[in-house]
Amino acid sequence: MTPHRFSLRVYYEDTDLAGIVYYANYLKFIERARSEWVASLGVDQMALKAREGIVFAVRRVEADFLRPARFGDDLVVETLLHSLGGARILLDQSVLRGAERLFQASVTLVCLTDDGHAARLPPDLRARLSGPLH
């Protein structure tokens, strides 16, 4: 499978006093990339919530900070589907500067109803997520 790629630039607001990306901002970077991945598959998350009453929520993140990104860096976030469960999506995400891996995470998402209970992924959504576009 080919990973979804999302490009971004590190701005001053993303960094600490030393010009290094503040660790929590990597979570923001990978969140943006996940949203773009889902949108690239033709999934409108607002329509999904309105139509099916379901949303995605992060259940678990296991992250490794490998090298620092710095102010002005051009980065790419790669998102790759690892597995799909009944109500769970497991993704591998990496932040790269060129060929250099700076950050990597294993992210578990769950599908939830409006009242916070687990919900099975609808068949059409499962087909989009597991399709050839990612």
Other CB atoms within 10 A of residue 10 CB: 20
Residue 60 lies in a domain: yes
DSSP 97-134: ETTEEEEEEEEEEEEEETTS-B-PPPHHHHHHHTSTT-
Q: Which distant-in-sequence residues (6+ apart) come within 8 Å of 117 by Cβ?
A: none
Residue 134 lies in a domain: no
Which pLDDT belongs to residue 133? 45
The residue range of the domain holding 41 is 4-129
Active site positions, annotated: 16
Total domain count, the chain: 1
Residue 15 lies in a domain: yes
**Cα–Cα distance for residue pair 93/105, rounded to 1 Å:** 5
103-112: pLDDT as tens digits: 999 999 999 9
Residue 19 lies in a domain: yes
Record the pTM: 0.91
Give every residue of the chain whose pLDDT is below 50, as ranges.
133-134
Residue 22 lies in a domain: yes
* CATH code, domain carrying 109: 3.10.129.10
**Cα–Cα distance for residue pair 86/42, rounded to 1 Å:** 20
